[in-house]
Structure 1
Amino acid sequence: MGGDHAPSEIVAGAIRAQEELGVEVILVGDTQAIEASLKEHKSPCQLEIAPAEDVIAMEEEPLVAIKRKPKASINVAMDLVKTKQAQAVVSAGHSGAAMAAALLRLGRLKGIDRPAIGAMFPTLIAGKPVIILDVGANVDCRPKYLEQFAVMGTVYSQYVLGIPEPKVGLLNIGEEDCKGNDLAIRTHQLLQDNPRVAFLGNAEGRDVLSGQFDVIVCDGFVGNILLKFAEAVGEIVLQILREELPQGLHGQLGTAILKPNLKRIKQRIDHAEHGGGLLLGVDGVCIISHGSSQAPSIFNAIRLAKEAIDNQVLERIQSTEIKRAKQLDGINQPSEVKPSEDTTG
């Protein structure tokens, strides 16, 4: 029920996902509105509907609304995951409400202090995206949060994107170790000392899309600005291409010849092709999609959720953090004092 085009476009994307990805989709929300959308799209497949009485509007304060509306669609969806009736939640609604519901209903993974939204960005190297996190879940961060983001991004890159040793960068205003604010300098040291991540160093703004890094970490304030700026640039590039292609017969012929190339360009820079951001660090797979998401974006968001489930991303993050916690406990425990061989009193 969330997003600018709900429920029609959400339903259309869900229908396509169920048909093409072989997943079972549960549509959560107003039963009558959803049934009307299903009839509109003349779906040949049956999609289950989970009724929800309320919807959280974009202008509502997330935490207050989540508690005041226990039967809101996002709460009902999270409860389906909590009770193992579903394996993932996809929402194009209020992102703050989605995060609050995930934290309250599902809880954090053991060893994770703050969940982060990871978003995929295209790079200059075809077929090699970079995951940026956090892009909006935490506007204020501590160094250890960013260290955890780096670990979660590394696990995701390894097991979903198939990168054996993901290269990690810290978004900063310069390459030198001493550059940046207090958060950046302290985080740099933590990442440098962490054996679980292949830390390459600071990443400047111009490095984000270079393909040099596989994972880039930053706080949610900076990350969200970066995400929306990148989305706007992508839309501008696509619009310029539409405007600058020749008109008339010659233009139609040229467009027909270039159609495969134009399609690949769109796939690389259009944010709809990535579906949304994965909320890493909560005890359930949650995809937060853009509020303007239409059917293709919802389809890709469900695909993203399926990839996270198939590759056991949550279990692998949990395993990594538990191992780390045990290592730290071992370091902090006092060593056993062996009795002296000299037994004389």
Structure 2
Amino acid sequence: MTRRAVVIGAGHYLPERVVENAEFEKTLDTSDEWIRSRSGIERRHFAAEGETTSDLATKAAQRALDQAGLAANDIDAIVLATSTADLTFPSAASMVQAKLGMDHGFAFDLQAVCAGFAYALTNANALILSGQASRVLVIGAETFSRIMDWNDRSTCVLFGDGAGALVLEAQEGNGTPEDRGILATDLNSDGRHKDILYVDGGISTQTTGFLRMQGKEVFRHAVEKLAATAVKAMDSAGVSSEDVDWVVPHQANIRIIQGTARKMGLPMDKVVVTVQDHGNTSAASIPLALSVGVERGQIKKGDLIVTEAIGGGLAWGAVVLRW
């Protein structure tokens, strides 16, 4: 028998405020058509004043727990992927732990920008496989609206706020690709490409900073690296494109999503797409899309899923799992 980390619950939360593309026309030299044609984004959600990343994360986590039929104290650990934590410290994960009423176990943040949820799933999987935890709450949550330069039309129209969460539980499998749970992961980074996607401020510089991006360069790296990491993870899992039921990619740009699907040899009707409604929610985008896919009735128990993401660092990775 083989120990597997199996998804038993999913949930998401989006702030109430919906921002349509047309709203940016009032302050920027842009248009709904310009934004849609370049990104596929039609709207996004922005957190309310005083609404923090840990607030969003807690609501998504509670919904995932509810779907799993569990209470917070049934969880051993929380892994929260975010680049926009409430405070420098303590971790947003520990704040979620307190807000959920979880009075044992451990919680920590993980920062790999848009690739954060792939990194978080990989770490949660390792905790379960090693026996360190039997149930792990894995969350992606962001308030990227807090780090936007509202005068930069090339970036501020692309990002949104939100959170998604999965509950992973240790279960026994047979050690084959037919097992439910995480089957394989692949992580990568290359710090030489820092300058194409970063925030120009931070604690050691005593500044907050804004997100800066060289869009064409990011696109150039994204399709090739996303397809490569997905194929590597599929090879490790012993599956092929023909076996895949759904690709649930990082929701950054519809053209990147389409290009990656083509490179993987998969049609778009096997891709869960939410970028039009959420924009790029960084580490929250994959769990958001997974939860929405379940809600829509697309993702069902037993489906083989490939997730892949790339973000600042550059950092990128993929996870193959059977729902």
Q: TM-score range by the shorter chain?
A: 0.3 to 0.5
The normalised TM-score by structure 2 is 0.32
Q: Higher relative contact order by CA 8 Å / sep ≥ 6: 1 or 2? A: 2
Structure with the largest fraction of helix: 1
From the CA coordinates, give the structure whose radius of gyration is larger: 1
The normalised TM-score by structure 1 is 0.31
